């Protein structure tokens, strides 16, 4: 992050993605943030840009349902999505593991 302030709208997080071999520098800008409810970011890596939005919904006292929606404007129906889907699934597993390790 560019500052030590809490995450909020306008926060810029610098990223380094090395999942596909060659590291790609990028940023993630927070464009929506409602604590304990939702967060949306615009992710820019190299020439690619995508939007990611997560919502958090309390199921009960000890469970939260997290829904993630990814929008990749440059991707059309004819493109092979298997690579990106596998990476998103891995990210979901990583988030789950991190969250569960906090309890």
pLDDT band at 10 (very low <50, low <70, confident <90, very high): very high
Is 87 a residue whose pLDDT tops 70? yes
Place of tokens 């020439």: 47
pLDDT band at 59 (very low <50, low <70, confident <90, very high): very high
pTM: predicted TM-score of the whole model, two decimal places: 0.73
pLDDT at position 2, please?
62
pLDDT at position 17, please?
72
Q: How far apart are CA 14 and CA 2, in angstroms?
A: 8
**Number of neighbours of residue 24 by Cβ within 10 angstroms:** 15
Q: What is the mean pLDDT of residues 5-10?
A: 90
pLDDT band at 81 (very low <50, low <70, confident <90, very high): confident
- Beta bridge partners of residue 57, listed in sequence order: 65
Place of tokens 């909020």: 8
pLDDT at position 74, please?
77
Of 57-61, 67-71, 92-96, the range with the lowest mean pLDDT is: 92-96
Q: What is the mean pLDDT of residues 14-34?
A: 84
């Amino acid at each position: 992050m560019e500052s030590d302030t809490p995450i909020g709208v306008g926060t810029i997080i610098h990223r380094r993605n090395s999942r596909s071999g060659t590291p790609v520098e990028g940023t993630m800008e927070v464009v929506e943030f409602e604590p304990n409810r939702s967060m949306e970011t615009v992710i820019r890596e190299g020439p690619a840009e995508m939007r990611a939005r997560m919502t958090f919904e309390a199921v009960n006292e000890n469970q939260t349902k997290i829904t993630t929606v990814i929008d990749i404007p440059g991707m059309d129906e004819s493109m092979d999505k298997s690579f990106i889907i596998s990476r998103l699934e891995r990210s979901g597993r990583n988030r789950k593991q991190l969250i569960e390790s906090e309890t």
